[in-house]
A = this chain, B = another copy of it.
Amino acid sequence: MVETGTKSPRERYRTQVRAEIKERAWEQIATAGASALSLNAIAKQMGMSGPALYRYFAARDELITELIRDAYRSLADTFRAASESGPDHVALAHALRGWALDDPHRYFLIYGTPVPGYHAPDDITAIASEIMTTLLDACTALASGSPATPFETHLEGHRQWADGHPAPPAALRRALTFWTRMHGVLSLELAGHFTGMGFDPALLFAAELDDLPAH
């Protein structure tokens, strides 16, 4: 095959059909959850027979993996956009919350109940570490130097996950805490555990954001 520089019509068609399949898949996930995702139903919606979809995705799991990849990609882009005007963990927090509320199922595809035996491919973990780097940048901006707590001392000696990032221990700790606390509020809120309780989840989120380790 000669190098055309632009995509062939066939490839254009193929990527377009793949995109439409993913769109329908997101719709289905939103109404019935990821576990109820049916390739047959998607095919019918698109006016073609069930097995036809297997030309585009080798298996149901491959489609879901692709959706997970897109979700990570989308979060990484959101973080990057929020960091455009400088490293700022408050901006990241609000971006994260907006992104999560925008499509809860997308959030749960990343941070929800894990499927036993499923392992994300390497390119997805690469996107995850891209997200972590953005977060570390923001947390480094405000953090001071030497470790002040036992856990920060522990982190100083266990920082493989920072992947060479020069963040001081306090920043490492701040990034981890940002992650777990924001996730703690968001995940319970999105799962509906706060509904009917009366208080405003947004205020709890803000309070937690305000209470992050200051150092």
Residues of A within 8 A of B (CB): 30-35, 108, 111-117, 149-151, 154-155, 158-161, 173, 176-177, 179-185, 187-188, 191-193, 196-200, 203-204, 206-208, 211, 213
Contacts and interface: CB of A to CB of B under 8 A. Distances in A.
A147 to B, nearest CB: 12
B176 A204 contact: yes
Q: Which secondary structure dominates where chain A touches chain B?
A: helix
A154 B33 contact: no
A208 B199 CA distance: 23
Given A180-B185, A181-B184, A188-B183, A154 B200 contact: yes
Given A32-B117, A111-B191, A183-B188, 18 more contacts: A31-B116, A111-B187, A114-B191, A150-B203, A155-B199, A158-B198, A158-B199, A158-B200, A160-B197, A161-B196, A161-B197, A179-B188, A180-B184, A180-B204, A180-B208, A181-B181, A183-B184, A211-B213
Contact of A115 (B33, B117, B206): B33
**Which residue, of A159, A160, A199, has the highest number of chain B Cβ atoms within 10 A?**
A199
Contacts of A211: 177, 213
**Which residue, of A35, A179, A180, has the highest number of chain B Cβ atoms within 10 A?**
A180
Given A113-B33, A151-B203, A203-B154, A183 B187 contact: yes
A167 to B, nearest CB: 13
